[in-house]
């Protein structure tokens, strides 16, 4: 099967509005990709349950990369060939790039002497909903973690960073929340998935869209990297890649516009 273009996309602030979580401004571009049978794959910090929810709304079927590159979930029977994977869960063949959530929780539990650590695993659905300013149904999906813990920390941050690094934990911190996982990377996950697609179609073009520093490895892994403008009109200053396209509009509006530009560069027929 010839796919032509593979679209790998971050969700929050990129395909989804950062506040409302709406993707409607990108609907036209999504429909055009579906019409051309070009896959759209989330590469997000979101859990599998969260990503599945949005894919169902968009009527998009295919692989997804979850929790910042921790796992690749390929629907059973999606590829017309056999490939190596680590396990099966629900209707997926799973390639694990990170250690399980329980292991991360175990490490964080060992570090609670360094300060107060409160993770999503310690919080109720209602508490998470209040923290995220989301309704409880979305909070429940965010709580279904398989690899990465999201947590608050009160204490000496430099000490925590050192302790996490010594234990092989990858962390990011911005604003109130930290994220911690053991291994896993968006760019590596994208490369692994592209290899599978190229088994069926070696002439692929890959497109990646993201809006933050967490998307740098994703953007580096594709042929056409696109940085999406933030709602305040700026771009994340921590994304300093050369040869990256930058959207004129923010969020899903910019996503849709940039995808249509890419599709306009591809001859049909």
Which residues belong to the active site?
A: 10
Q: Which of 90, 211, 107 is nearest to 98 (CA)?
A: 107
Strand-pairing partners, residue 18, are none
Q: Which of 127, 175, 183 is nearest to 153 (CA)?
A: 175
Structural tokens at position 21:
């979580």
Parallel/antiparallel/unpaired status of strands 177-181 and 40-42:
unpaired
Note whether 107 and 169 are within 8 A (CB). Answer: yes
Q: Which of 68, 67, 88 is nearest to 78 (CA)?
A: 88
CB < 8 Å & 24+ apart, contacts of 38-42 = 38/3, 38/4, 38/5, 38/6, 38/7, 39/3, 39/6, 39/7, 39/63, 39/197, 40/7, 40/9, 41/6, 41/7, 41/8, 41/9, 41/65, 41/193, 42/9, 42/10, 42/11, 42/15, 42/66
In whole angstroms, give the CA distance from residue 192 to residue 174: 28
Q: What are phi and psi of 129, to 5 degrees?
A: -60, -45
């Amino acid at each position: 099967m010839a796919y032509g273009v593979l679209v790998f996309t971050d969700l929050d602030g990129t395909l989804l509005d950062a506040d409302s979580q709406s993707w409607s401004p990108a609907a036209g571009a999504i429909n055009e990709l579906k019409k051309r049978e070009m896959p759209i794959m989330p590469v997000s910090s979101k859990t599998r349950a969260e990503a599945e929810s949005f894919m169902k709304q968009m009527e998009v079927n295919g692989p997804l990369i979850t929790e910042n590159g921790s796992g690749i979930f390929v629907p059973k029977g999606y590829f017309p060939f056999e490939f190596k994977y680590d396990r099966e869960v629900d209707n997926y063949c799973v390639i694990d790039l990170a250690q399980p959530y329980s292991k991360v929780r175990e490490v964080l539990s060992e570090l609670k002497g360094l300060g107060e650590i409160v993770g999503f695993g310690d919080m109720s659905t209602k508490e998470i909903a209040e923290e995220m300013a989301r309704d409880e149904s979305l909070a429940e999906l965010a709580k279904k973690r398989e690899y990465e813990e999201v947590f608050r920390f009160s204490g000496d941050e430099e000490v925590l960073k050192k302790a996490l690094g010594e234990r092989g934990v990858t962390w990011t911190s911005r604003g109130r929340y930290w994220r911690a996982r053991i291994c896993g990377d968006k760019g590596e996950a994208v490369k692994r998935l592209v290899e599978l697609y190229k088994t069926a179609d070696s002439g692929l073009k890959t497109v990646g869209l993201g809006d933050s520093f967490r998307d740098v490895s994703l953007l580096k892994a594709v042929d056409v990297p696109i940085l999406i403008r933030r709602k305040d009109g700026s771009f994340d200053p921590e994304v300093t890649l050369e040869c990256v396209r930058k959207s004129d509009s923010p969020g899903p509006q910019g996503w849709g516009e940039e995808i249509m530009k890419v599709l306009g560069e591809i001859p049909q027929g």
